Amino acid sequence: MILTVNVNNSNIVLGVFEQEKLVTVVKTVTDKTKSEEEYIQIFGDLLDGKGINLQDIEGAILSCVVAQLITTIDEALTELLGYHPMQIAAGVKTGLPIKADNPAEIGSDIIIGAVGAISRYEKPLVIVGMNTATVFTVIDEKGTLIGVSIAPGVRIGAEALSMRASQLPYVPLEAPQRVIGRNTAEAMKSGIMHGAASIVDGMVDRIEAELGNRVNVVLTGAIAKRVAGLCKVPVMVDEYLQLEGMNEIYHRNTKKEK
């Protein structure tokens, strides 16, 4: 089994693969204040709760976009497994051509999502990562990452709305039955969720116009399923696309057959 650990600004997602099959997913909240020892306990408990024997994990790979936690998570995994995990960093073969002014600026979360999508979907592609930020990653027909657009995430927008506007409450991220809200909560839900779908629709339209091609659209991340049904453009949902990309990169670097 291979353990994939994806650390983003909101959550830490652990996935366990048996060859190409993702058999277990567990999550915990990203907390920059927790120590190595605390993460050892958290990860161990999460995996044990799913019946995963650490001795059966033959390899691990880590992607972390939270700079303050890279060493902490690496050392926690090393203590649990008895070896350092592979990291998505310079020197790791991803097989992903990147056309950007500075390819080093492209975050590991974007890279693993792109690798996962290219291995599973027909190109050209737009990958919409819906987590702390809403990230549009554009892959051309040759499989090259040619650029990215980044917008505030849906949850951040909802939290900012309730925090900065004193008369607006926090509302759950769910779409109301109608777009035109008839009370405050309904109006906020509509604006947040239908607004998120409209951003997807509008950005895909603009990306296609700039490319001169139609694209396949893949939504991934924590709220992808909730937004997908509201979009007018055809979309596919692959919630754990980044984990799939990490598994692909792990095998690419160890030359093991999947």
**Whole-Å CA distances, 37 to 14, 28, 79:** 17, 15, 9
205-231 exposure pattern, b = at least 16 Cβ within 10 A, e = fewer:
eebbeebeeebbbbbbbbbbebbbebb
Region of 95 (left: φ > 0; alpha: ψ -120 to 50; beta: rest) is: left
Q: Give the integer Cα–Cα distance in Å for 190 and 187.
A: 5
Instruction: Give the separation between CA 207 and CA 26, rounded to whole angstroms.
Output: 34
Q: Which two tokens stand for residue 32?
A: 């920059």
Token reading at 143: 């499989």
Please give the Cα distance from 75 to 189 (Å, whole number).
Answer: 41
Query: Pairing relation of β-strands 145-152 and 216-220?
Result: unpaired
Q: Catalytic: 109?
A: yes
**Set 109, 140, 205, 238: catalytic member:** 109
Task: Identify whether the C-beta of residue 8 lies closer than 8 Å to the C-beta of residue 65.
Answer: yes
So which residues are the catalytic ones?
A: 109
